């Protein structure tokens, strides 16, 4: 839109002020959701008519036609936006980047598979805009809400247990902190963004645990529907990453959770090493051979456990697994040399006892192994 007015000398300057930006941005994370995009857009158009809105699909390099469909619809509707991330994964971090790419004062987060009931979005926006709520949660666990009737008992119980755990950590009276469907003021997000862990699937728990000022929170009931099209991405890794998120929210300010896990794996490796060594010696294997076998087993075991648990979100597979094992062994080899050097130096000084020298050497090499392998072996892409 161009605003024009005559200047003193008769020229007509033109100032391009564009059109009003959106009041509400709906963030939709996507991973192989080609069959759901058109339906999501249709439903948003319908329920949000009369509201200045846009949707940002944050796609983590889907291998199906998700991005093609989004671009096709976006070609005739500027409210449809796409953020394509390459080499990064994770529902939470995708939502965070989407929110940061928006200028709207209100932001909603919603799944792409239509399990969240978009028809309550206007009610959620009104609660924030007119009733001063900072955060409005689409809730399955308050009166009027519900879960997909096709959920088996196991899934319902797991969801309830995870919810209770979340409530315990948050020390907050929120019925559905695990909800992936919520709307908030930008200020509420800005108050939490620097403390966010951005791990795994549960962005709402992260926001609630990270906020510095108490938020005015309201829950609006809805019934979680069955998935519209495509496949679920929920697996055991999601559950593990949720536990890591809760741990990070509890002890993360004192010690990185990954370092704690790395150290626990190191202790397991030490126990495995000593066990294999003892068994080999008992079977009459020469010490140097037994020590070699124990070292190899401990190294492969440590690498695999760290790859599975400590870096579940950057897990190496196939050829990457082999290269990772080699680089991890090299890093730990250098760590062992540093360990020997430091321990030997301290042992040589008069004040140090043998145990102090031993612990100091081991501690130094653990920090080295952790720090260097996190950037060399499990580097963030
Ligand atoms: N950008 C991005 N989106 C993701 C990622 N993982 C899942 N999603 C999206 O997040 C939303 C929730 O994932 P779902 O697989 O539906 O998980 P869920 O709803 O907890 O599980 P179901 O009830 O089994 O569907 C969907 O829109 C997915 O496409 C990811 O790593 N990156
Ligand atoms: Mg789903």
* 12-70 confidence digits (pLDDT tens): 666 777 889 999 999 999 999 999 999 999 999 999 999 999 999 999 999 999 999 99
If one residue of 26, 27, 29, 201 were mutated to test the ligand 1 pocket, choosing by the most ligand atoms within 8 A of its CB, it would be 29
Closest ligand 1 atom to the C-alpha of 30?
A: 29
Q: What is the pLDDT of residue 189?
A: 97
The residue ranges of the chain whose pLDDT is under 70 are 1-14, 350, 381
Ordered by start, the domain boundaries in the chain are 14-251, 257-376
Distances in Å between the Cα of 264 and the Cα atoms of 25, 43, 190, 369 are 42, 48, 35, 13
Closest ligand 1 atom to the C-alpha of 85?
A: 1
| Residue positions counted in the chain | 381
Q: What is the pLDDT of residue 150?
A: 78
Q: What is the pLDDT of residue 12?
A: 66
If one residue of 63, 113, 201 were mutated to test the ligand 1 pocket, choosing by the most ligand atoms within 8 A of its CB, it would be 113
Q: Is the CB of 244 under 6 A from ligand 1?
A: no
Q: Contact, 255 vs 153, CB < 8 A?
A: no
Closest residue (by CA) to atom 20 of ligand 1?
234
Q: What is the pLDDT of residue 153?
A: 85
The structure tokens 């102090």 sit at: 356
Q: Is the CB of 218 under 6 A from ligand 1?
A: no
Q: Is the CB of 112 under 6 A from ligand 1?
A: yes
Closest ligand 1 atom to the C-alpha of 151?
A: 23
Q: What is the pLDDT of residue 106?
A: 98
Closest residue (by CA) to atom 22 of ligand 1?
232
Q: What is the pLDDT of residue 279?
A: 94
Please state, in angstroms and rounded to a whole number, the distance separating the CA atoms of residues 16 and 1. 6
Q: What is the pLDDT of residue 355?
A: 83
Looking at domain 14-251, its CATH class is alpha beta
Reported as a single tens digit per residue, the pLDDT across 264-288 is 999 999 999 899 999 999 999 998 8
Helix (H) or strand (E) holding 121: helix 121-129
Q: What is the pLDDT of residue 10?
A: 65
Q: Is the CB of 89 under 6 A from ligand 1?
A: yes
Q: Which residues have beta carbons under 5 A from ligand 2 (an ion)?
A: 111, 113, 115
Strand ranges in 174-240 using DSSP code E only, listed in sequence order: 182-185, 217-221
Q: What is the pLDDT of residue 272?
A: 93
Q: What is the pLDDT of residue 209?
A: 95
165's CB contacts (< 8 A; 6+ apart) are: 246
Distances in Å between the Cα of 96 and the Cα atoms of 29, 99, 189, 211, 243 are 10, 5, 9, 14, 20
């Amino acid at each position: 839109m161009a605003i024009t007015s005559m200047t003193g000398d008769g020229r007509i300057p033109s100032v391009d002020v564009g059109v009003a930006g959106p009041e509400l941005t709906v963030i939709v994370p996507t991973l192989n959701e080609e069959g759901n995009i058109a339906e999501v857009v249709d439903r948003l158009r319908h329920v949000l008519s009369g509201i200045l809105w846009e949707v940002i699909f944050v796609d983590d390099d889907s291998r199906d036609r998700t991005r093609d469909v989004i671009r096709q619809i976006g070609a005739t509707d500027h409210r449809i936006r796409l953020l394509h991330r390459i080499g990064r994964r994770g529902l939470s971090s995708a939502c965070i980047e989407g929110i940061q790419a928006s200028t709207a004062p209100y932001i909603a987060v919603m799944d792409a598979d239509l399990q969240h009931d978009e028809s309550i979005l206007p009610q959620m926006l009104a609660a924030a805009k007119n009733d001063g709520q900072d955060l409005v949660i689409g809730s399955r666990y308050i009166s009027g809400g519900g879960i997909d009737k096709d959920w088996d008992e196991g899934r319902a119980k797991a969801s309830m247990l995870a919810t209770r755990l979340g409530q315990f950590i948050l020390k907050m009276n929120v019925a559905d902190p695990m909800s992936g469907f919520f709307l908030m003021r930008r200020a509420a997000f800005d108050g939490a963004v620097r403390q966010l862990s951005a791990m795994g699937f549960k962005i709402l728990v992260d926001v609630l645990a990270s906020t510095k000022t108490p938020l005015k929170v309201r829950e609006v009931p809805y019934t979680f529907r069955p998935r519209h099209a495509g496949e679920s991405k929920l697996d055991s890794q999601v559950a593990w990453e949720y536990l890591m998120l809760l741990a990070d929210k509890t002890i993360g300010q004192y010690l990185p959770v990954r370092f704690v896990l790395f150290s626990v794996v190191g202790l397991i490796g030490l126990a495995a090493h000593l066990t294999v060594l003892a068994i080999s010696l008992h079977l009459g294997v020469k010490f140097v051979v037994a020590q070699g076998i124990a070292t190899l087993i401990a190294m492969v075991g440590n690498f695999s456990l760290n790859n599975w648990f400590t870096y579940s979100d950057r897990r190496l597979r196939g050829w990457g697994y082999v290269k990772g094992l080699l680089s991890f062994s090299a890093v730990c080899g250098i760590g062992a040399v540093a360990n020997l050097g430091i321990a030997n130096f301290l042992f040589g000084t008069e004040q140090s006892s043998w145990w102090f020298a031993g612990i100091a050497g081991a501690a130094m090499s653990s920090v080295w192994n952790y720090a260097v392998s996190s950037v060399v072996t499990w580097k963030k892409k």
